[in-house]
Amino acid sequence: MEDVATPEGFARDPALVQAFYNARRRQLQSPEIAPNAAHLALARLEDLLGDHFLLVTQNIDNLHERAGNRRVIHMHGELLKVRCSWSGQVLEWTGDVTAEDKCHCCQFPAALRPHVVWFGEMPLGMDEIYTALADADIFIAIGTSGHVYPAAGFVHEARLHGAHTVELNLEPSQVGSEFAEKHYGLASEVVPAFIDKLLQENPL
């Protein structure tokens, strides 16, 4: 992944990096890629909770938004956006990126890079995430290995502030012992089931 997921790799061979993300961008927009039952359940939960809901994802796709979520932080960036290497301006971008494409702000060719957090770069939205963790009544982690920090440390932060912590995963994560409640299985099954149970026990 060093060739396509580091600033050094982009500086060394930008065409290779752009080709990699162009292919992923096209794949994301193909008809067979669609939100699943877990995405739809989380959108339903946001509809009910409104501003008391925040979804933080390490995924760079737009499936949560397509399911209906609006309060989403993509801490590792977004595949359907690009960023100017000089100004930092972020642009919506659904097509391929080439060396001839110019940034709208600086008009320099080859200035656009994927709006994706690469190894060695700071995740996005961290201040807002930690504020939400400090205020949360319930923290739910879904489909995570627990290997990648800082995200793997979110459950500990939420616990420190008194949140009820829930892991919904295919199998126990590396930080599974930190969670007060755990349910394992396919996300498309365990997430809707848990949210149904949560809403039955806590009617809004």
Residues noted as catalytic: 76
Distance of CA 41 to the CA centre of its chain: 16
User: Is the preceding peptide bond at 7 cis, omega within 30 degrees of 0?
Assistant: no
Residues in the chain: 204
CB 46 within 8 A of CB 29: no
